[in-house]
Amino acid sequence: MDVAGKAEAKTTGEPERAQIEVTTWVTKHVGGDGTGSKLFDEAIGRGDTTRSVLRRFTAKFPELDSALWSPDHTELGSHIEVLVNDEVLGVSYELDSPLTGGERITLLGQFMGG
Amino acid sequence: MSSTSTMTRTATKPAPSPVYAYAGKILRVNLATGKTWTEAWSEADRREYLGGIGLGAKILYEEVGPKVGWDHPDNRLIFATGPLAGLPVWGTGGLTVITRGALTGGATSTQANGFFGATLKYSGYDAIVMQGQAKKLSYLYINDDVVEVRDAAHLAGKDTWETQQALETEHGLSGHRLSVYAIGPAGENLVRFAAIHGDYGHVASKNGCGAVMGKKKLKAVCIVRGTKALAAHDTRGLIQAADDIAHDLKTDPSTSTLYNYGTLPGVVNLSKLGVLPIKNYTTNLTGDVDMKEWEAPALRGGFDHRGHQCNACGMRHCHIQVIPKGRYEGERVDEPEYEGWSGAGWTIGLTDKYSVSWLNTRIDRACVDVNEFGWVCGWVMECMEKGYLTEKQVGFRLTWGDTEGAYKLLQMISHRQGFGDVLAEGVKRASEKVGGKAAECAIYTMKGASPRGHDHRGRWEEMLDTCTSSNGTMESANPTFQTEVGAPGRINPFDGEQVAKLVGMIRGRRHFEDSLGGCTFTFRTKMANLARALSAATGWDYRLEDAVRFGNRTAAILRAFNLRCGIGTEVEYPSARYGSQPVDGPAKEHDIRKQWDRMLDVWYETVNYDRKTGKPKRDLLRSLDLGWLEKDLYGKK
């Protein structure tokens, strides 16, 4: 597993963080080769939700941004599964569920067939 | 070479001309007498039933009565292709096998590819309907208008690849010039989950269609690539539609992996969702296996390989490979698709990719369904580990990941030797026979059908579909652009109501795909795109709503067939293990049993069938112009 970037350095009074794991073909959108996983840390602030954290994260990667979201950025597109703590979004977490830090968000490329 | 009948030049009434996209004829074969004949089918029937399972469901319903069991000579074995087969659309060599199957005793539709569908059309036929039982092992030879039932004594006992090679040698034809679909020893020995294999690596695998073929003493169907022309109504429009579909396959993020690697990415993806079946559903953890080695490029890497594409296909997913090292070094194999990696691999605790590749091809060559083999073999392994089956019962010690042991079991099953005779009945019947704790470990639907190579405890939509379907496998296809039929793009996969509604809404898509004569992978596009290709090919104005209606019509006919066979709502649930709660992994908190009844309620409401009787409701049948079926199901009023 390749730890590819750290959004912000930890300091005293450091914010809580969530880990974002980008996997399989989705890694191509964040500088990977389409295999394996790339890990990122993302700071979590007061009032953050799955949506706001993902919006902030994908803003750094334009290709991922257009792949993950619907054109108007209000909904997720249909090609990337979002898991929070290993559960598909919609089970324990919704897009607008608050995050408090320590969560792991996984972006898993949907595949067809099989 | 001897033949069991004299050479027959089929007497044919010319079909009305022009017949766009179709050959316009159905070939009929009575294997008992060797008689062959053809029937033209009308434009109206072609539009209503399309081909593949659409056509097959109609014939099955009309000609196979409730007393005609899977092993009865009057059962029909139908190889049907569709209007896009043989035309310049990717992956259009497909055929669908339709019959009354040996596992469920009900309707079967199972699709495979290669060149058969195109070759059949070039020979002048849209489908072959075989009835009767040959007096001795035979094969069907087709070379344009020459159709013969020939002696196959020299092919007895050969596996499917050996059979194809022998027929290629016999006829001096190879490659794309001869298409062969055959059974191996498992079919000859009436293994209930025997498949029909063709063109080195393609399998119509479901519901024991190979056992039906074996019962008919039909070793193979062998077609010389024909010389008849096929015409599209609007060639330019067809090519434009085909190019658009191909473009989408190459560029759409979710299908581009399919384009490049077929279903290989499934192993890693599904493992993250708790959907990869590991050691007969005893765990959902991949343990110390380096999953980076199971990424698609790594799975393909290391093998010498070359493309082995089907008719008119530009995909990169079918490969013939040579195992480069280890015990099976130098052996030629067909690159497993996802279900090969699961059924011949993870399900039985085998994670060495060279061994899985080898075993998967051996399973194909024996003509065994790799999914059911996984459930059978995994069940034996678990039961031996737990002491529910003994070495004395099985005949030898079999442990997780034992390639040679699994192969030995395959041979025992294929030849019905020793305990293999029990296992050849499929895991449902075998586990019921053994009983006790062992029975609780077996994975099956109560109809007897084999689930696909997933852990459906993390993929509820497929479990529901597999349990409610009427074709021995699945009737929907998810995820596949379901928003075009108004279904949500995303649901909570563990909310039974949402799942059931989705499954009901997308049901029938697979019937539409499987009636066009192409590949489910190259047809992973919007149904509207397929309807556009169909319109250009035939000259019809065929639209998305026609495709949806077609899927629902076909599903209703298959449902009525099964009800007539006595397969009703009372068997629409999973076995204890199949429907159990996972002990670990991403789906461990979710127990489908708690929601099953409510899921059925919602599914029945969505598809507009009666919850108690299982019948499609009258208003539905009328809306689908199935008045004749309404009369059968409800009487005259």
pLDDT per residue over A23-42, tens digit each?
988 998 999 988 888 999 99
- Find which of B248, B270, B272 to mutate to test the A interface (most A CBs within 10 Å of its CB): B272
Closest-CA residue to B585 (of A83, A101, A60): A83
Residues B41 and B161 in one domain: yes
Which of A35, A67, A87 lies nearest to residue B295, judging by beta carbons? Answer: A35
| Residue B88, domain CATH | 3.60.9.10
CA B375 – CA B368 distance, rounded (Å): 12
Residues B430 and B460 placed together within one structural domain of the fold = no
Which domains, ranges and CATH numbers included, belong to chain A?
A: 2-109 (3.10.20.30)
- pLDDT for res A12: 53
Stretch 520-579 of chain B: residues touching chain A, C-beta under 8 Å? 520-521, 524
> Based on the domain organization, do B14 and B79 belong to the same domain?
yes
Who contacts B439 (Cβ-Cβ below 8 Å, separation ≥6)?
A: B431, B432, B576
Q: Do A113 and B586 touch (CB under 8 A)?
A: no
Domain extent for B478: 456-520+543-634
Measured CA to CA, the distance from residue B209 to residue B508 in angstroms comes to: 21
Alpha-carbon distance B495 to nearest alpha carbon in chain A (angstroms): 8
Tell me the pLDDT band of B556, cut-offs 50, 70 and 90: very high
pTM of the full structure: 0.93
Please tell me whether the peptide bond between B18 and the residue prior to it is cis, using omega within 30 degrees of 0.
Answer: yes
Single-letter code of the amino acid located at B66: P
Query: CA of B525: which chain A residue's CA is closest?
Result: A112
Q: Which residues of chain B are within 8 Å of residue A25 when distances are taken between CB atoms?
A: 253, 256-257, 265
In a domain, B116, yes or no: yes
Instruction: Give the Cα separation of B327 and B615 in Å (integer).
Output: 54
**Residue A7: pLDDT over 50:** no
Amino acid identity of residue B400, one-letter, is: W
pLDDT at B603: 98
Mutation to test the A interface, candidates B90, B252, B260, B273, most A Cβ within 10 Å:
B273
Cα separations in angstroms, B153 against B3, B147, B183, B416: 10, 18, 14, 20
Q: Determine whether the interchain pair A90/B269 forms a contact, defined as Cβ–Cβ distance below 8 Å.
A: no
Residues B219 and B183 in one domain: yes
- Taking the C-alpha atoms of residue B472 and residue B559, their distance in angstroms, rounded to an integer, is 11
**Is the pLDDT reported for residue B5 higher than 60?**
no
User: What average pLDDT score do residues B385-390 get?
Assistant: 98
Nearest-CA distance from B482 to chain A in Å? 10
Give the one of A88, A108, A114 whose C-beta lies nearest to B337's C-beta.
A114
Distance of alpha carbon B186 from alpha carbon B210, whole angstroms: 8
Tokens in use for B590?
């979710």
Number of other residues whose CB lies within 10 A of the CB of residue B171:
16
Weakest-pLDDT range from A6-20, B163-177, B280-294: A6-20
User: Is the pLDDT at B464 greater than 90, yes or no?
Assistant: yes
Measure the CA–CA gap between A110 and A89, rounded to whole angstroms. 14
Domain shared by B403 and B470, yes or no: no
Residues B403 and B489 placed together within one structural domain of the fold? no
Rounded alpha-carbon distances, angstroms, from residue B283 to B50, B276, B318? 43, 10, 30
User: Which CATH number belongs to the domain containing residue B504 in this structure?
Assistant: 1.10.599.10
Query: Confidence band (pLDDT; 50, 70, 90) for A109?
Result: confident
Residue A32 burial (CB count, 10 A)? 18
Q: Which residues of B touch A64 (CB under 8 A)?
A: none
The number of beta carbons lying within 10 Å of the beta carbon of residue A74 is: 9
Nearest Cβ partner for A112 among B258, B298, B495: B258
Neighbours of B234 (CB within 10 A): 15
Would you say residue B346 has pLDDT above 90? yes
- Note the pLDDT of residue B401: 98
DSSP letter for B427, please: H
DSSP state of A104: E
Q: Crossing angle of helices B403-414/B370-386, nearest 10°?
A: 120
State whether B318 and B410 are in the same domain.
yes
pLDDT for B457 beyond 90: yes
CA A12 to chain B, closest CA, distance in angstroms equals: 35
User: Is residue A110 very low, low, confident or very high in pLDDT (cuts 50, 70, 90)?
Assistant: confident
Residues above pLDDT 90, as percent of chain B: 86
For residue B255, is it within any domain?
no
Position B2 scores a pLDDT of: 36
Q: What is the pLDDT of residue A112?
A: 66
If pLDDT is split at 50, 70 and 90, which confidence band does B174 have?
A: confident
The pair of structure tokens assigned to B153 is 């004594």
C-alpha–C-alpha distance, residues A24 and A111, integer Å? 10
Pairing of the two strands B218-224 and B178-182: antiparallel
Q: Do B484 and B423 share a structural domain?
A: no
Q: Give the one of B295, B480, B586 whose C-beta lies nearest to A112's C-beta.
A: B480
Place A6 in a pLDDT band, splitting at 50, 70 and 90. very low
- Pairing, β B107-112 against β B146-151: unpaired
pLDDT(B214) > 50: yes
The overall longest dimension of chain A from CA atoms, in Å, is: 48
Q: Cα-flanking dihedrals φ and ψ of residue A49, to 5°?
A: -125, 175
SS3 call for B463: helix
Q: Are residues B328 and B361 in the same domain?
A: yes
* B204 shares its domain with B58: yes
The verdict on residue B410 lying in a domain is yes
Torsion angle, CA of B255/B256/B258/B264, rounded to 10 degrees? -120
Give the residue with greater pLDDT, A6 vs B544.
B544
CA angle B397, B402, B403 (to 5 degrees): 125
Neighbouring residues of B374: CB distance < 8 A, sequence distance ≥ 6: B277, B342, B343, B344, B347, B348, B453
**Residue contacts between A and B (CB atoms, under 8 Å):** 98
The strand pairing partners of B36, in sequence order, are B29
B562 lies in some domain: yes
Q: What is the 3-state secondary structure (H, E, C) of B26-61?
A: EEEEECCCCCEEEEECCHHHHHHHCCHHHHHHHHHH
pLDDT at res. B13 = 52
φ, ψ dihedrals at A58, nearest 5°:
-70, -20
Query: What ipTM was assigned to the predicted interfaces of this complex?
Result: 0.79
pLDDT digits (tens, 9 = 90+) for B126-164: 999 999 999 999 999 999 999 999 999 999 999 999 999
Q: What residue spans of B89-229 are helical by DSSP H?
A: 116-122, 160-171, 185-188, 209-215
Q: What is the mean pLDDT of chain B?
A: 94
B189 pLDDT higher than 50: yes
Tokens of residue B11, six digits: 């007497």
Q: Are B115 and B199 in contact (CB under 8 A)?
A: yes
Residue B445 has pLDDT above 60, yes or no: yes
| Residue B470, token pair as written in the block | 């009427």
Chain B: residue whose CA lies nearest to A64: B253
Which value, to the nearest 10 degrees, does the dihedral of the CA atoms of residues B298, B299, B304, B310 take? -130
Structure confidence at residue A13 (pLDDT): 66
Residue of A nearest to B253 (CA): A79
Q: How far apart are CA A29 and CA A63, in angstroms?
A: 5
In a shared domain, residues B267 and B215: no
Q: Look at residue B551 and tell me if it is in a domain.
A: yes
Q: pLDDT value at position B421?
A: 98
Sorting pLDDT into bands at 50, 70 and 90, what band is B367? Answer: very high
How far is B270 from B276, CA to CA, in rounded Å? 5
Q: Write out chain A residues lying below 8 Å of B268, CB-based.
A: 23-24
Whose CA is closest to B303, among B323, B318, B319?
Answer: B323
Please name the member of A36, A78, A108 whose beta carbon is closest to the beta carbon of B269. Answer: A108
pLDDT at B131: 98
The residue out of B195, B224, B253 marking a domain boundary is: B224
Residue from B544, B571, B552 nearest B629 by CA: B552
Whether B9 has a pLDDT exceeding 70, the answer reads no
CA distance A91 to chain B (A): 6
Is the same domain home to B348 and B209?
Answer: no
Asked whether residue B563 carries a pLDDT value surpassing 90, the answer given is: yes
Number of domains present in the structure of chain B:
3
Q: Is residue B254 part of a domain?
A: no
Q: What pLDDT shows up at residue B106?
A: 98
pLDDT > 70 in chain B, percent: 97
Of B439, B464, B484, which closes a domain? B439
Q: What is the pLDDT of residues B405-442, one digit of tens each?
A: 999 999 999 999 999 999 999 999 999 999 999 999 99
Helix axes B496-506, B596-607, angle to 10 degrees: 30
Q: What is the pLDDT of residue B101?
A: 98
Domain-located, residue B577: yes
Nearest to B300 by CA among B330, B270, B260, B250: B260
DSSP class of residue B610 equals: -
Q: Choose the final residue of a domain: B199, B224, B249.
A: B224
CB-based contact B253 A91, cutoff 8 Å:
no
Mean pLDDT confidence for B73-91: 97
* Amino acid (one-letter) located at A105: I
- Residue numbers in A near B265 (CB within 8 A): 24-25, 109, 111, 114
| CB distance B181 to B198 below 8 Å | yes
Query: Cα-flanking dihedrals φ and ψ of residue B168, to 5°?
Result: -65, -45
Smallest Cα–Cα separation from B71: which of B151, B183, B187, B156? B187
Report helix, strand or coil for B455. coil
* B257 band by pLDDT with thresholds 50, 70 and 90: confident
Residue B65 within any structural domain of the chain: yes
* Residue environment code for B506-538, b if the CB has 16+ CB neighbours within 10 A, otherwise e: bbbbbbbbbbbbbbbbbbbbbbebbbbbbbbbb
Q: Is the pLDDT of residue B165 over 90?
A: yes
Other C-beta atoms closer than 10 Å to the C-beta of A14 total 10
Cβ neighbors of B114 (< 8 A, separation 6 or more) are B93, B179, B181, B198, B199, B200, B201, B202, B310, B311
**pLDDT digits over A63-105, tens only?**
999 989 988 888 898 788 899 998 888 888 999 999 999 999 9
**Average pLDDT estimate for A2-22:** 65
- Rounded to an integer, the average pLDDT of B493-502 is 96
What was the pLDDT predicted at B3?
37
Looking at the partner chain, which of A36, A88, A90 has a beta carbon nearest the beta carbon of B273?
A: A88
Q: What is the CATH number of the domain that holds B309?
A: 1.10.569.10
| Per-residue pLDDT at B597 | 98
Query: Which helix (H) or strand (E) segment is B373 a member of?
Result: helix B370-386
Q: How much is the average pLDDT of B552-570?
A: 98
